[in-house]
A and B are shown apart, each in its own frame.
Chain A
Amino acid sequence: DTGVSQDPRHKITKRGQNVTFRCDPISEHNRLYWYRQTLGQGPEFLTYFQNEAQLEKSRLLSDRFSAERPKGSFSTLEIQRTEQGDSAMYLCASSLGGISGANVLTFGAGSRLTVL
């Protein structure tokens, strides 16, 4: 297992276009997270899944954003009708959730979105 993989690493799009990012977590991890990071800021939580169930979404996640994890493995994050304010690094992380112990997230390298 090579860790958390994200694709594409970079995406440049025009305002109004749709984009989709893919995340492949560590295979035995049951939790998967999406965060967004803008320049000079810390990562902000967007949403997370436990297996295939999307358990929580941030208020940051407008109705133009949708995330899925259809079989509890990989996940996609789609942004419809992109706006310039969507330009950011989109980070995926996974963790092995359990009753006890710390919820340690392992991050991918991120997908950088630039909206022109």
Chain B
Amino acid sequence: AQSVTQLDSHVSVSEGTPVLLRCNYSSSYSPSLFWYVQHPNKGLQLLLKYTSAATLVKGINGFEAEFKKSETSFHLTKPSAHMSDAAEYFCVVSERGSYIPTFGRGTSLIVHP
């Protein structure tokens, strides 16, 4: 069975400081992992995906994530937060053979000026 745990429901940072959103996953088989972002009143947008190639994945808007199998983690990072990064972020797992991605509960990123 597959599942994801987003370790923080809210993360608050100041503009210009680094962002870290934490995600641990559980999967019986080789997983694909994703991060999606949801801005207020907007649809879910794919930030990046991991599909068993390079373990460090770069996405849009300066975000990146590192797949660590030994830690079953897929944390999302960004070196410097912008006000426009304030949104809800979802970690998603889809294990090999499953066509049904499972979402985490989300982490709300708050960016202070």
**Interface residues in chain A, defined as those with a beta carbon under 8 Å from any beta carbon in chain B:** 4, 31, 33, 35, 40-45, 48, 50, 55-56, 91, 93, 97, 101-110
Contacts and interface: CB of A to CB of B under 8 A. Distances in A.
Contacts of A93: 44
Interface of B: 32, 34, 36, 42-46, 49, 51, 90, 94, 99-106
B99 A105 contact: no
Contact of B51 (A33, A44, A45, A102): A102
11 contacts: A43-B90, A44-B103, A93-B44, A101-B51, A102-B49, A102-B51, A104-B49, A105-B46, A107-B44, A109-B42, A110-B43
Contact of A102 (B32, B36, B45): B32
Nearest to A107: B44
A101 B32 CA distance: 9
B95 to A, nearest CB: 10
B71 to A, nearest CB: 21
B104 A42 contact: yes
B43 to A, nearest CB: 4
Given A41-B106, A101-B51, A109-B42, A48 B100 contact: yes
Contacts of A40: 105-106
A107 B43 contact: yes
A7 B57 CA distance: 34
Given A40-B105, A41-B105, A91-B43, 10 more contacts: A42-B90, A42-B105, A43-B44, A45-B101, A50-B99, A97-B99, A103-B32, A103-B94, A104-B46, A105-B46
Contacts of B43: 4, 91, 107-110
